[in-house]
Amino acid sequence: MWSPLIRPIKNRYLAYFARRVIHATCPESYFINYMKKQQNPFKEATYALTFDFDFEKDIDAFPLLLDMLQKHEIKAGFAVIGKFVEKYPDIHKRAVDEGHEIINHTYTHPDNPHWAPKRYFNKLTYVEQKAEIEKAHEVFHKILGIECIGFRTPHYGNLHTESVYPILAELGYKYSSSSAASAYNGYGAPYTHSHGIIEIPTGCSIHFPLAIFDSWNMLRKNKPFLGDDELFVNEFAETMQVIAEHNLFLTHYFDPYDIIENNKLDKICHILNTSNTQTTLYRDLFHQHSS
């Protein structure tokens, strides 16, 4: 009854107001009712952990992040950019060797301050967007020896464009993970979008069902939803309880430099391993279908 409420509201201010009201009054029931409408392709409670490597400080966090995932025996998806793979091949090779999944996050990550300032992905032409994705694909193939099948738009929904789907189809890709669950079909689960491409929307959390659960919204921005690392970890734990209880699918992305601070990643991995939920990679979605 709740779920169709927000998405059709095209007026930004009305949508903002509706979100505030729901977050302030009935977030848990909204979250549960919304998520229960999804068709979980894995049938059982499943979580996909992903990270976006956008800045040098994310690369600095890479070794510790890999150590932590190794300690907890969790495989994750890494949205990485071609320029960084060229600059730091060894740490990316380690990620591949340890069984993690590489997600194409473009060659330069427009508007990355190092290489592509004042260049915005949604302002690029079709040909330029395709070149950004294709060039990263070639770098991953040459340096890491992999054939990437998934993509994430730099800056997600804000700069995400529909032109991505035909490009991905042309390149033989299988999925994109570039939208917010609350603003997309599928109720937080993978869903066929267009041109045969599956969109895997990034998920939310139990008390903020109409926001993306990431460190930007929860901790970093001006007036963050939580603003405290302990609350952040607790929010994750409570959310995972619901996922386990109702056999749901959920995926989040985190910023590497941020999530390793104050042992947040260590705690999140521990919660994942004790929550009656299996973890998965996006690519497993396609393996299990073909098997």
* Residues found near Zn ion in the complex (CB under 5 A): 52, 54, 154
Cα-based distances in Å from 83 to 24, 59, 133, 214, 278: 42, 12, 12, 24, 33
> Which residue, among 129, 126, 125, 123, has the nearest Cα to 106 in the 3D structure?
129
Rounded to a whole number of angstroms, the minimum distance from the CB of residue 109 to Zn ion is 6
Rounded to a whole number of angstroms, the minimum distance from the CB of residue 283 to Zn ion is 19
Establish how many alpha carbons lie within 13 A of residue 12's alpha carbon, considering only the half-sphere containing its beta carbon: 0
Of 126 and 216, nearer to Zn ion (C-beta) is: 216
Q: Give the Cα separation of 161 and 164 in Å (integer).
A: 6
> Which residue, among 154, 140, 152, has the nearest Cα to 96 in the 3D structure?
140
> Which residue, among 213, 210, 178, has the nearest Cα to 194 in the 3D structure?
178
Rounded to a whole number of angstroms, the minimum distance from the CB of residue 203 to Zn ion is 17
The Cβ of residue 227 has, within 10 Å, a number of other Cβ atoms equal to: 12
Of 54 and 258, nearer to Zn ion (C-beta) is: 54
Rounded to a whole number of angstroms, the minimum distance from the CB of residue 54 to Zn ion is 4
Of 52 and 235, nearer to Zn ion (C-beta) is: 52
Of 46 and 153, nearer to Zn ion (C-beta) is: 153
Distance of CA 195 to the CA centre of its chain: 21
Of 104 and 239, nearer to Zn ion (C-beta) is: 104
Rounded to a whole number of angstroms, the minimum distance from the CB of residue 112 to Zn ion is 8
Q: Give the Cα separation of 75 and 67 in Å (integer).
A: 11
